[in-house]
Chains A and B, each alone.
Chain A
């Protein structure tokens, strides 16, 4: 999936810009694209794996400190930094178990699908502007992303919904009633929360007039961060962010919406029967998805990679890019931290309360907000304030 997409957007691809001049001229274009796609995929895969493993470690530390304990302290020496690596190795070496009566095809497909969907999401995240890194390429106005898609947010929403299908497949394929309950809850929950999630995103989309994460981020540059959506128009931004964040929690199955894997009710929900690396995929997906949702919020509400003072680095392309990537990632991690904080503080809702909240409150509220935003945009343009 991501291979195709990256190959499809050849014109302004960051990887192609980077690799193009290095590869021999005799190579046919399709080969260049293929090499670029593979290289891009490798970089992304590494980034996702490292981020997810870091987040797993972070969650345990956050949970530990909230719960008056220390969390991992042994593996690797410094505050158990290698705990996730050790866990990963353990999971890799575990026996591959499939329940006898499971639907083997679906059971095997689910973890792959879930990982593929979240990896594909990462493709669309704009980490930094595409400056002329190390003197190569000419991507002014484009972003350093796996694939710089114009309909970025549209792509993200549709691809991230794939994970639901995988979860339902896992729950059904496991041939376990608890797993099935988890899968059904996931289907119901995600189907209802996709609506407020998408609708609340329409507010910044209307405000910036673009579906592209990259263009929205460029629009928030300069002015010492005062052009971040959150600060430039708090009346629209704050409520839409709260709606988005709540819906994102439900989308990523995080507390207080962690019903699909509610430990105290459904044992482990849809992944009860999974072990070893297949389980690890579900686990990593959860953390990667948290980062994706946070990154979307960062791109639309918190200025993306922008931070006051970034412009002063414009003469040093490498530094500039590094600073931008760091800023984007750091903001994303901050939001992920908030998600963790909530998880270790709040109890869990019941399924009917989740549904009530989605359909009775979040959806009408986000619709009302869209109306307000549309009115605002109309006034802005009819008065000639808009750019």
Chain B
């Protein structure tokens, strides 16, 4: 592309004639796998014309651990700890999704108290996950401090998880047929206290980060996903709702007792920019945390003492031949488990539909035309966990 040759000029398109061809080559630059803002070991091969991105191609697989294959080679119950590891920020929800799928296959239902506790934990885990998402998003945009504030509250949640199951990150607490054990004395009160505290702190993040002038300027009208685009690319969760699509598994295909509690499904409304921009996705996450608090409060009010494990579900399971799909609303979107049983101790097929993986796929379409700094903003707003995209 060098030398004094004159390129063909399309005057109609407004191109000007130049004496020498001064077109330049795009830079190809690897964002990751070792990069502070790819939230793990994602590699995005960027093509950039200066600061403007002309092409983006995500490369996955750096964290591939054959989760699905493991699911087809260990016993039903033994696979449970592996579910913790795909989206390690919402392990409770992963446990829940798998357990519900196995229960459907077995044709059993967990006792009522177990279901309520599952709901409380799933929502607490959603708050914890969104806290990390919003906090690290602040880091991506260059605001370091809110991250520490969100982690401070997440720490309280992890303490509560530790009290109920002994683990802080990978719980394996929700299991087919019910729970590992009942909640310890006084645990529900601690959760209530956390809910009160959290609403206060939530305002802090909102004022400090979400409506910060620079933060808003950086995110509005960036990485816009129109509703049809979001649906076409199979996005779910806050990414889909950020685009203004009113869909939530918890309300539209209820599992547990989500039909017995009141909560609003938050959708992006483009309050400060366009519907479906990065700010809207953050907005959805922020408000979902408050809705989770609402759900937890109602669940605590309605919970009653009782059994926590279905008596028929023991260690070695042999579900009748058949197949089951259960999709639940993970913090990042729809986590689906499709299980096939041939009546043996081990699954024939254990397919996992990870929300991060589906949400990430649109990156190559979303990035071209934005700036280098926006790439970070867009990846952060999709909020991926690489453990799950790669599994």
Residues in A lying within 8 Å of B, measured CB to CB: 63, 66-69, 177-178, 181, 184, 255-256, 258-259, 262-265, 267, 344-353
Q: Which of B40-74 contact A (CB under 8 A)?
A: 50-51
Tell me the total A-B contact number using a CB cutoff of 8 A: 78
| A265 and B373 in contact, given A344-B145, A348-B214 (Cβ under 8 angstroms) | yes
| Interface segment out of the listed B7-15, B29-37, B181-189 | B29-37
B207 CB to closest chain A CB (Å) equals 11
* Closest partner residue, chain B, to A345 (CB atom): B145
- Residue pair B371, A264 in contact (C-beta under 8 Å): no
- Residue pair B212, A264 in contact (C-beta under 8 Å): no
Residues in B lying within 8 Å of A, measured CB to CB: 27, 29, 35-37, 50-51, 138-145, 148-149, 152, 208-209, 212, 214-215, 217-218, 371-374, 376
Residues of B within 8 A of A177 (CB): 27, 29
CA distance A156 to B372 in the complex (A): 33
Main secondary structure of the interface of B (DSSP, over half): helix
Contacts A347-B214, A351-B373 aside, 17 further interface pairs with beta carbons under 8 A come to A67-B144, A69-B148, A256-B214, A262-B142, A263-B142, A264-B37, A264-B142, A265-B372, A267-B35, A345-B208, A347-B141, A348-B373, A349-B214, A350-B374, A351-B51, A351-B371, A352-B371
| A265 and B27 in contact, given A256-B214, A348-B141 (Cβ under 8 angstroms) | no
| A262 and B373 in contact, given A255-B142, A348-B214 (Cβ under 8 angstroms) | yes
5 A-B residue pairs with CB within 8 Å: A68-B148, A181-B51, A264-B139, A344-B144, A348-B214
Return the contact of B29 from the options A66, A69, A178, A353 (Cβ within 8 A): A178
CA distance A346 to B208 in the complex (A): 9
* Closest partner residue, chain B, to A264 (CB atom): B37
* Closest partner residue, chain B, to A353 (CB atom): B217
A103 CB to closest chain B CB (Å) equals 18
* Closest partner residue, chain A, to B50 (CB atom): A184
- Residue pair A264, B36 in contact (C-beta under 8 Å): yes
A259 CB to closest chain B CB (Å) equals 8
A116 CB to closest chain B CB (Å) equals 30
| A67 and B51 in contact, given A265-B376, A267-B35, A351-B371 (Cβ under 8 angstroms) | no
CA distance A261 to B272 in the complex (A): 29
- Residue pair A68, B152 in contact (C-beta under 8 Å): yes
B379 CB to closest chain A CB (Å) equals 10
Residues of B within 8 A of A256 (CB): 142, 214
CA distance A184 to B35 in the complex (A): 20
CA distance A344 to B215 in the complex (A): 14
A370 CB to closest chain B CB (Å) equals 27
CA distance A265 to B217 in the complex (A): 17
- Residue pair A66, B145 in contact (C-beta under 8 Å): yes
- Residue pair A350, B373 in contact (C-beta under 8 Å): yes
Return the contact of B140 from the options A258, A264, A345 (Cβ within 8 A): A264
Residues of B within 8 A of A349 (CB): 214, 217-218
